[in-house]
């Protein structure tokens, strides 16, 4: 098993402990850990595409209910993972699920807009996934999806909204995994970690402070952001150019 997978296994174990504490202390929260039940697909993703020598690491926040929660791959919109990344490992289900957010794996009929936009941008610029992953990678900071169940309509809760006693141990584990992953990916070379959205950019800056790593930010592709619904791909490409990053094969 590669160092990256070993680190991800350790993160998954820490995340499972956090999930148990969250569901014990916050009874109205349901937690999914796709690094556990969808490990096979994540392992295939890392094994195929997670080799050293990356120049740019794109960092997301945490799994989306119709993305990584379904496929085990960051921003894992089903069609993109199946058809462009060519990943199709067998997937399990979380031990405790919520009826509004069923995990159907590659049979899921919903499309995660954020993942469709992100992988669509890379596919349009590189054509072949192998070309993109020669020098780039996509990962999430936190592996857990949090679902508030007390609301009139259950909804996704971002990890920064956890109470500090629950949030801090989780963020410590996520910081450690991010540092280890960047160390593996860089292979001793300079690497640029680009946060996808404000949260990921802040966590990258904090976790990698003092390391020989550049950090930056692009607009998150979520449709919840009005700015993302007006040519997100064009806006993201311009932001990357401002950082000195050109997306081309």
What is the C-alpha end-to-end distance of the chain, expressed in Å? 29
Element (H, E) at 57: strand 56-60
Q: Which two tokens stand for residue 249?
A: 């094969």
CA 60 to CA 200: how far, in whole Å?
Answer: 6
**What's the pLDDT tens digit per position in 25-41?**
987 789 999 999 999 99
Angle formed by the axes of helices 164-186 and 3-25, to 10°? 170
Sheet holding 136-140, edge to edge: 136-140, 56-60, 191-196, 213-218
Strand partners, 140: 60
**What three-state secondary structure class fits 74?**
coil
Element (H, E) at 56: strand 56-60
Nearest to 63 by CA among 21, 19, 6: 19
Torsion sign over Cα 227, 136, 201, 62: positive
CA 210 to CA 224: how far, in whole Å?
Answer: 33
**What three-state secondary structure class fits 94?**
coil
Please tell me the predicted confidence (pLDDT) of residue 230: 92
Please tell me the predicted confidence (pLDDT) of residue 152: 67
Count of residues in the chain = 249
**What three-state secondary structure class fits 238?**
helix
Please tell me the predicted confidence (pLDDT) of residue 14: 97
Regions of the chain with pLDDT less than 70: 1, 151-152
CA 97 to CA 78: how far, in whole Å?
Answer: 19
**What's the pLDDT tens digit per position in 80-89?**
999 999 998 8
Quote the pTM value: 0.96
What is the 3-state secondary structure of 140-199?
ECCCCEEEECCCCCCEEECHHHCCHHHHHHHHHHHHHHHHHHHHHHHCCCCEEEEEECHH
């Amino acid at each position: 098993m590669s160092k990256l997978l070993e680190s991800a296994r350790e993160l998954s174990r820490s995340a499972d402990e956090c999930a148990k504490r969250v569901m014990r202390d916050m009874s109205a929260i349901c937690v999914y850990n796709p690094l556990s039940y969808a490990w096979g697909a994540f392992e295939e993703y890392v094994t195929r595409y997670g080799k050293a020598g990356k120049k740019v690491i794109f960092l997301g926040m945490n799994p989306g209910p119709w993305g990584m929660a379904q496929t085990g791959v960051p921003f894992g919109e089903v069609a993109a993972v199946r058809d462009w990344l060519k990943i199709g490992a067998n997937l399990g289900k979380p031990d405790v699920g919520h009826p509004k957010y069923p995990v159907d794996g590659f049979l899921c009929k919903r499309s995660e807009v954020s993942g469709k936009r992100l992988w669509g941008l890379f596919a349009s610029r590189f054509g072949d996934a192998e070309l993109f992953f020669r020098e780039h990678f996509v990962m999430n900071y936190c592996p857990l999806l949090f679902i508030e169940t007390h609301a009139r309509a259950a909804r996704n809760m971002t990890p920064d909204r956890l109470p500090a006693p629950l949030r801090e141990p989780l963020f410590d584990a996520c910081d450690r995994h991010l540092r280890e992953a960047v160390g593996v990916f860089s292979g001793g070379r300079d690497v640029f970690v680009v946060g996808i959205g404000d949260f990921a950019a802040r966590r990258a800056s904090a976790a990698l402070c003092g390391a020989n790593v550049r950090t930056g930010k692009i607009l998150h592709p979520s449709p919840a952001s009005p700015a993302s619904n007006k040519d997100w791909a064009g806006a993201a490409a311009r932001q990357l150019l401002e950082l000195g990053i050109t997306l081309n094969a």
